[in-house]
Amino acid sequence: MTGSSTTVESPRRVLLGISGGIAAYKVCSVISSLAKAGVAVRVLLTQQGQAFIPPLTVATLSRHPAYTDEDFWQASQGRPLHIELGEWAELLLIAPLSANTLAKLAHGLADNLLTNTVLASTCPVLLAPAMNTDMWQQQAVQRNWHQLLQDQRYHAIDPGSGVLACDRVGTGRMAEPDDILTHIYSLLHTAGQRDLNGKTLLISTGSTREYLDPVRFIGNPASGKMGVALAQAAIHRGAAVTLVHGPMESALRERLGGIQAIAVTTAAEMHRAMLTQLPQANWVVMAAAVADVKPVAQASTKLAKADLPDSLPLAQVPDIVADLAQKRQPHQRLIGFAAQTGDIIPPALEKLQRKGLDAIVANPIDVPGVGFGGDRNQAVLLTKAGGKLTIPPCTKLDLAHQIWDALLRAGF
């Protein structure tokens, strides 16, 4: 494992199908974000989809004319439109996916431009359903849903719960644009391959807090974004993931769909959670920034300023990585993280060897624009076998995928 990441210069190609549903308004944000990121976006609308959002709106956002059934049924000036679109797309997103379009896809029907294009394509298809709770829970709809997902082409973003347009509170709310975008970028990276299928990953992320009193603690700025990106990328590649995380913002917690999440606060709590979950894991990734020390004494009430000690006696916290390395089974792989300043490689190599890790990801925290709290990162991945991969600055999701790619190539 040598070398560095490369960037694909040609624009990625996403075809978006909009079927009937009020959630179509959310898709505008997805289209705009993709176009601003340099992704080539083409949009086609069903007749019902046009009742909720006009072609002019999506054409303006995508910087390309929208397609409707009127285009499909007109005499072709060249190759059939559904063939052209099906061959053009790297990824086909259907959002919102209505009960009607779901039924057509499940049974291989093709009576409009969208359904014909699906059958004329071979790329991954990402589905984001949206409908009334009673509709979603109908036995026929659930049968169609599960039948369709047996086809490996199809990838799902299950609907969430909340207040629906019909004023009901229940399941049926289309996934939020940020979640859809994350899944899109994952599928563009993997081309829909589920190469982590059958693996169970245990990932820690975020910071821990060691309290002096109820309001003061020893901690660090780790946000948990890197671990969440690792978990999302792994889920999208077919893995089962348990994420043990320290305190994190509610917006980040809301992005943990499909991930078993265990919230902890202190290093001792993270230690217990990781050891409890260890037996089920194939890969264990220690991405959390765990406190090294804690106050010897913790006050049960807030200390007055005058009562704060001039010096703070400290005690060591459990070494979670060392304990995991000692208790793991031969088939389990242990990957650590090392947030460093200056020359990041020597301390990472030392930690790799001293902790008994199979691999370590070293990332700088003194480089502007990457590291704690940001959406981007860079790293050097080192393996016990001597492999080295330098990953230039990129999004944390992209970094996560490159880490999984490298570990799979290394035979983990």
- pLDDT band, residue 2 (cuts 50/70/90): very low
Q: Which of 380, 386, 381 is nearest to 407 (CA)?
A: 381
Quick: pLDDT tens for 280-330. 999 999 999 999 999 999 999 999 999 998 899 999 998 999 999 999 999
The pLDDT mean for the chain works out to: 93
pLDDT for res 1 = 56
- The catalytic position among 28, 123, 166, 394 is 166
Q: Which of 113, 298, 90 is nearest to 213 (CA)?
A: 298
Measure the CA–CA gap between 300 and 212, rounded to whole angstroms. 9
Q: What angle do CA 261, 263, 266 make, to 5 degrees?
A: 145
Measure the CA–CA gap between 219 and 260, rounded to whole angstroms. 24
Q: What is the mean pLDDT of residues 57-81?
A: 89
The verdict on whether 394 is a catalytic residue reads: no
Token pair listed for 203: 């990932």
Measure the CA–CA gap between 350 and 346, rounded to whole angstroms. 6
pLDDT for res 273 = 98
- pLDDT band, residue 9 (cuts 50/70/90): low
State the helix-helix crossing angle for 225-236 and 396-409, rounded to 10 degrees: 60
- Residue 13: strand pairing partners: 40
Checking if the pLDDT of 77 tops 70, the result is no
Checking if the pLDDT of 90 tops 90, the result is yes
Quick: pLDDT tens for 205-242. 999 999 999 999 999 999 999 999 999 999 999 999 99
The answer to whether residues 61 and 16 touch, using CB atoms and an 8 Å cutoff, is no
pLDDT for res 8 = 40
Name 6's Cβ contacts closer than 8 Å, sequence gap at least 6.
none
Quick: pLDDT tens for 34-48. 999 999 999 999 999
Domains of the chain listed by start with CATH number: 13-73+81-190 (3.40.50.1950), 200-409 (3.40.50.10300)
Quick: pLDDT tens for 353-378. 999 999 999 999 888 888 788 899 99
* Selected residue with higher pLDDT from 5 and 334: 334
Look up the pTM and report it.
Answer: 0.92
Q: What is the mean pLDDT of residues 62-74?
A: 93
Q: What is the mean pLDDT of residues 168-192?
A: 92
Checking if the pLDDT of 168 tops 90, the result is no
Checking if the pLDDT of 62 tops 90, the result is yes
Token pair listed for 141: 């709809």
